[in-house]
């Protein structure tokens, strides 16, 4: 116990917040008295139990509904092959991401399930309030505060209840820190949290309970969330360019007509764009020097035969889809190997059908070497996270 007291009285942020929670709860307990503080404590415990139950049920519901939702969306979501406004682009980006990205779909279903469960459970609160009120009706019993010295006794009891309530609040706060540190070991303020003696004492208690569940999953989950978020951002290019102009479609089919495998088709399109689309230095310099960005669609890039990396990547994606390939536009940072770097865009294409693999390629850099699925591609192309 003395070790906990020494850890709790250390002058650092975690301990100070815990002490503040205890002090505020104690003062609230004294102000409310025994009956009011007991009521607040009861509802705090009840809400904690309700939170856990709703979280568990929401997880099970989301897990059961996710594959059903994916199947339903696959059969009912069809992106129109025409130019769309900003609102339509945002809607189809969201709905197709919900259809195709499992983690996003699970997260949305989990949140909706949890909110609905909490809404349903909220109807129990008036019933509990009625039960409390019925026990405190005038005439049923003599109020503690009416007895000699009762007001002081009520405040003292309220202070005890308030302190217990504060301890519960502090536990929830430290548990939230523990989950945050476990899921984001390199996150903001993680080092500061781990320097807290009180947090370290509490983590020794929490580790046997939740450690096995969270150990090693934090970085994996964080990486999965970042990747899913990046997939959603990249999906917008697919929606914007979903409509394939006839001239681009005909050119893509002509380029790949003699190619039988996905890889051969992807390579043929890479060679074609890499040798025919010139880098638009005027556009790039105008953005760097003057902050002026000229947005252009794949049809304009195809017609003018010039563009910057994002323009080349978008045109490649349209031509690849016209050829029956699954393709992505990837954004991030390009490294030139000489210490220079800057914003960049490239593609990933799927070869081998449904059970195949995604390979990277960079048609913008084709004039400087072979950037079709080379070894160590990820050392010069860093995906945005």
Q: Closest by alpha carbon to 316, among 271, 353, 284?
A: 271
CA atoms of 141 and 264, how far apart (whole Å): 88
**Using an 8 Å Cβ cutoff, are 307 and 252 in contact?**
no
pLDDT computed for residue 233 by the predictor: 66
Give the pLDDT of residue 339: 65
CA-to-CA dists, residue 55 to 323, 333, 367, angstroms:
45, 38, 54
What are the tens digits of pLDDT across the range 5-41? 555 555 678 888 888 888 887 787 777 776 777 767 7
Residue 216 has pLDDT above 60, yes or no: no
pLDDT category of residue 304 using cuts at 50, 70 and 90: very high
User: What is the CA 224 to chain-centroid distance, rounded?
Assistant: 9
> Looking at per-residue confidence, does 211 or 51 come out higher?
51
Residue ranges, CATH 3.10.620.30, the chain: 245-383
Least confident of 70-74, 124-128, 297-301: 124-128
pLDDT at residue 231 greater than cutoff 80: no
The full length of the chain comes to 385
Sorted by sequence, the CB contacts under 8 Å of residue 355 that are 6+ apart come out as none
CA 97, 99, 353, 225 torsion-angle sign: positive
- Rounded to an integer, what distance in angstroms lies between the CA atom of residue 301 and that of residue 308? 9
d(CA 371, CA 366): 6
* Sign of the dihedral defined by the CA atoms of residues 84, 86, 87, 93, in that order: positive
> Which is nearest to 250 in space by CA: 182, 324, 323, 157?
323
- The CATH topology of domain 245-383 is C8orf32 fold (3.10.620)
Is residue 65 very low, low, confident or very high in pLDDT (cuts 50, 70, 90)? very high
Of 19, 52, 47, 170, nearest in space to 39 by CA: 47
Who wins on pLDDT, 176 or 298?
298
pLDDT tens-digit profile of 138-170? 444 445 555 555 677 777 777 777 777 777 777
Decide the pairing of beta strands 306-307 and 278-279.
parallel
Predicted pLDDT of residue 16: 84
């Amino acid at each position: 116990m003395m070790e906990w007291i020494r850890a709790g009285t250390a002058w650092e942020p975690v301990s100070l917040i815990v002490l503040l929670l205890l002090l505020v709860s104690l003062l609230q307990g004294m102000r409310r008295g025994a009956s009011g503080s007991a009521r607040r404590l009861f509802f705090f415990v009840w809400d904690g139990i309700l939170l856990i139950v709703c979280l568990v049920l929401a997880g099970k519901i989301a897990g059961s509904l996710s594959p059903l939702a994916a199947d339903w969306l696959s059969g009912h979501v069809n992106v129109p092959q025409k130019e769309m406004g900003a609102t339509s682009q945002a809607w189809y980006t969201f709905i197709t991401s919900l259809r195709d990205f499992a983690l996003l779909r699970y997260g949305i279903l989990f949140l909706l399930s949890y909110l609905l469960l909490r809404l349903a459970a909220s109807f129990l609160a008036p019933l509990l309030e009625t039960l409390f009120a019925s026990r405190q009706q005038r005439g049923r019993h003599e109020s503690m505060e009416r007895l000699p010295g009762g007001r002081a006794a009520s405040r003292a009891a309220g202070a005890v209840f308030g302190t217990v309530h504060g301890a519960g609040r502090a536990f929830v706060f430290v548990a939230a820190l523990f989950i945050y540190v476990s899921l984001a070991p390199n996150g903001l303020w993680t080092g500061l949290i781990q320097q807290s003696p009180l947090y370290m004492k509490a983590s020794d208690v929490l580790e046997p309970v939740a450690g096995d569940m969270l150990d090693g999953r934090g970085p994996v989950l964080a990486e999965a969330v970042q990747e899913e978020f990046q997939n959603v951002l990249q999906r917008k290019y697919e929606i914007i360019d979903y409509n394939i102009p006839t001239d681009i479609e005909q050119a893509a089919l002509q380029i790949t007509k003699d190619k039988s495998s996905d890889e051969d088709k992807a390579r043929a399109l890479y060679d074609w764009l890499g040798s025919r689309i010139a880098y638009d230095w005027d556009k790039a310099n105008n953005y760097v020097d003057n902050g002026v960005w000229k947005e252009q669609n794949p049809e304009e890039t195809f017609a003018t035969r010039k563009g910057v990396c994002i323009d080349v990547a978008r045109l490649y994606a349209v031509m690849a889809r016209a050829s029956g390939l699954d393709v992505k536009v990837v954004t991030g940072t390009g490294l030139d190997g000489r210490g220079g770097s800057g914003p960049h865009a490239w593609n990933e294409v799927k070869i081998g059908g449904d059970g195949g693999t995604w390979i990277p390629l960079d048609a913008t850099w084709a004039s400087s070497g072979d950037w079709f699925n080379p070894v160590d591609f990820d050392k010069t192309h860093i995906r945005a996270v």
